[in-house]
């Protein structure tokens, strides 16, 4: 099957996103907003797979009047300081905008007398959790998929990505995958690659614990140089609070091993 060229499809984009849960879908939306051409690939059906579809839907949000440093400290403490604090900071800075985005996509969050109702996020000291009104995480990711499609994100379902492609200069330049339902091979060529295959963990205090790894695609990331000193890839920071233990890697021409 690998030798038969008719069974290979080459897909090109500015940005390739691997994984179609909250992490991948939000990344796709934001990349598309910036004018990039985006392909999102998932081994299952993006928006109906992974942890996201089965989650509660609560979202940790920093309201404009809340203290960012306190939030970051709270998460760092809950994760015994094994977190990327810059990433957590970026997530919270934008969390209110993401809440507003979800509302504009038709997912209202609980309010009473015009003010948001929240509960304390489990495992934190003071972080606010906001809950969707009459909706679950399944509704949230379903709507994110719809919005991504409406913004010309090309979604490729049922393709298992098993490796990252490195160019001759050692930079990450795409990925290779295999059809889960159809006997087909895929080469994805891209300037930037976002790996959003989940941290693989469900922890009460959520958010970006570095030790949680990156779920099913951990080996591919390590092989490409993630987490190896100077080659450590940038972390994609523009994500909503509800991303739980998410750890996303963005390769933007970083050197890989």
Ligand X SMILES: Cc1cc2nc3c(=O)[nH]c(=O)nc-3n(C[C@H](O)[C@H](O)[C@H](O)COP(=O)(O)OP(=O)(O)OC[C@H]3O[C@@H](n4cnc5c(N)ncnc54)[C@H](O)[C@@H]3O)c2cc1C
| Binding interface with ligand X (CB under 6 A) | 18-24, 41-44, 49-52, 54-58, 160-161, 196-198, 202, 206, 215-217, 242-246
Residue closer to ligand X, measured from CB, 183 or 229: 183
Residue closer to ligand X, measured from CB, 13 or 168: 13
**In terms of DSSP H, where are the helices of the chain?**
22-33, 68-78, 85-104, 137-150, 218-223
What is the nearest approach in angstroms of ligand X to the Cβ of residue 232? 19
Residue closer to ligand X, measured from CB, 41 or 230: 41
Distance of CA 132 to the CA centre of its chain: 20
CB-CB contact of 26 with 38 (8 Å): no
Residue closer to ligand X, measured from CB, 164 or 256: 164
CB-CB contact of 257 with 108 (8 Å): no
Cβ partners under 8 Å of residue 224, min gap 6: 164, 166, 172, 251, 256, 257
What is the nearest approach in angstroms of ligand X to the Cβ of residue 133? 14
What is the nearest approach in angstroms of ligand X to the Cβ of residue 251? 15
What is the nearest approach in angstroms of ligand X to the Cβ of residue 110? 13
């Amino acid at each position: 099957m690998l030798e038969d060229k008719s069974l290979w499809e080459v897909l090109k984009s500015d940005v390739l996103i691997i994984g179609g849960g909250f992490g991948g879908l939000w990344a796709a939306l934001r990349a598309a907003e910036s004018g990039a051409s985006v392909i999102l690939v998932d081994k299952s059906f993006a928006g109906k797979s992974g942890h996201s579809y089965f989650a509660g839907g609560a979202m940790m949000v920093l309201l404009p009047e809340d203290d960012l440093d306190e939030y970051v400290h709270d998460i760092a403490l809950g994760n015994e300081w094994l977190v990327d604090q810059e990433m957590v900071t970026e997530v919270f800075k934008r969390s209110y905008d993401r809440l507003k985005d979800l509302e504009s996509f038709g997912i209202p969050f609980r309010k009473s007398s015009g003010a948001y109702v929240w509960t304390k996020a489990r495992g934190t000291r003071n972080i606010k959790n906001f809950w969707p009104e009459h909706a679950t995480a399944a509704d949230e990711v379903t709507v994110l998929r719809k919005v991504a499609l409406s913004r010309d994100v090309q979604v490729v379902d049922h393709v298992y990505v098993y490796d990252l492609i490195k160019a001759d200069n050692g930079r990450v330049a795409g990925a290779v995958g295999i059809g889960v339902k159809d006997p087909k091979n895929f080469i994805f060529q891209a300037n930037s690659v976002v790996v959003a295959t989940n941290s693989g963990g469900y922890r009460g205090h959520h958010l970006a614990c570095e030790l949680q790894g990156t779920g099913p695609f951990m080996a591919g990331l390590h092989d490409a140089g993630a987490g190896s000193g100077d080659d450590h890839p940038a972390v994609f920071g523009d994500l909503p609070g509800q991303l739980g233990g998410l750890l996303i890697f963005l390769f933007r021409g970083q050197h890989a091993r």
